[in-house]
Amino acid sequence: MRKNQIIEIENINDEEARALLGASDQNLDILCECLGLDISFRDHRFLVRECSNTQYEALKSILNSLYHMIEQNKAIHEQDIIYLCRSALKGENVDIDELSRHIVGRTLSGKIIYPKTKGQLAFVKSMEKNTVVFAVGPAGTGKTFLAVIQAVTALKKGDIKRIVLTRPAVEAGESLGFLPGDMKEKVDPYLTPLYDALNDMLGNEQTQKFIDKGVIEIAPLAYMRGRTLDDSYVILDEAQNTTSAQMKMFLTRLGFRSHMVITGDVTQIDLKTNVRSGLIEATRILKGIDGIDILELTADDVVRHPLVQKMIERYGETEKRQ
């Protein structure tokens, strides 16, 4: 049964109400769109028209979580509201405090980086606990970004001496010799997401200094052969495009006091049809080994534009039917 409902937040003042509603009421608009409700705010009360009991409970939970963020002087972002809405509609509780308590690092500008979803929190905790972590999931779930932030934070603390970033250059068939420039210039186009995260944390100048000194190493996967990487944080990005042999070669580069994070999206494999993905094989073979964790992120962990999640879900539904 649907009816008009009123939700009050005790002790909310005018400044807090403005923060909750957002500039030009944009937060309220997002709530209306996500929940499919007509919501208005007047005299510190929310009026919800034609609302079911399920929608009422969901909205009440979301508003309390958002108000709690404001009480702790935390900025409310669009993706925070969308994630809270998705979780509430599924009957899941989101502990905002637990997410925001778990600081992964700080950008050069001082912005605090913390997990935005339960899946991201599990990923961050896993990187802190395990030596080798596989993070498999769709675009927009923050896999690469969080891995680089974790690596830079470990470098700043002195836990490691070097960061190694690598990625299979499938488009170039791992045969980079015909491309112009030195090795860095050849592989740079494939590593842009990794550079973006590094620049956020360290700035362009410091990132370049670390690269020049060898503290940060950028290399295509083909150049990992024959090496042992001690005291390093090694990140393999786009791992779905590794072959079985490449993945085994990479994993056996693990040295003492080192960590490895392998990220990939098994729905975006660019290998030839008859070539098996090393990521899919490794997550099957290595499951259950102490020190190795395999995490699967989902569309619920997407923190990009809300349409990205909808597109991922629609593609997934189509692929299942096919």
Q: How high is the pLDDT of residue 283?
A: 95
Of 48, 80, 99, the residue that ends a domain is 99
Domain of 296, CATH number, reads 3.40.50.300
Q: 299 with 253, same domain? A: yes
What is the per-residue pLDDT for 306?
Answer: 65
The pLDDT of residue 163 is above 80 = yes
Instruction: Average the pLDDT over each of 92-96, 169-173, 250-254 and give the range with the smallest value.
Output: 169-173
Domain extent at residue 39: 3-99
Do 251 and 206 lie in one domain? The reply is yes
Q: What is the pLDDT of residue 100?
A: 79
Task: Give the model's pLDDT for residue 173.
Answer: 45
87 in the same domain as 127: no
* Residues 10 and 128 placed together within one structural domain of the fold: no
What integer is the mean pLDDT of 10-36? 89
Are 214 and 304 members of one domain? yes
Instruction: Check whether residue 183 and residue 72 sit in a common domain.
Output: no
Instruction: Looking at the structure, tell me whether residues 293 and 218 fall in a common domain.
Output: yes
Return the higher-pLDDT residue of 154 and 270: 154
Whether residues 153 and 230 share a domain: the answer is: yes
CA separation for the pair 140, 145 (Å, rounded): 10
Per the structure, how many domains does the chain have? Answer: 2
| Residue 262 and residue 165 share a domain | yes
**224 & 191 share domain:** yes
Q: What is the pLDDT of residues 35-77, one digit of tens each?
A: 888 999 888 888 988 888 888 888 888 998 898 888 888 888 8
**What is the per-residue pLDDT across 172-224, written as a single tens digit (0 to 9) for each?**
444 445 455 555 565 666 677 788 889 989 999 999 999 999 999 988 888 88
The chain-wide mean pLDDT, for the chain, equals 86
> In this predicted structure, what is the pLDDT of residue 252?
93
* Domain end position, chosen among 43, 66, 99: 99
Lowest mean pLDDT: which of 136-145, 222-231, 274-283, 306-315? 306-315
Question: How distant, in Å, are the alpha carbons of 112, 158, 208 from that of 103?
Answer: 7, 17, 25
pLDDT at 188: 64
82 shares a domain with 155: no
* pLDDT of residue 119 exceeding 80: yes
Average pLDDT estimate for 104-111: 87
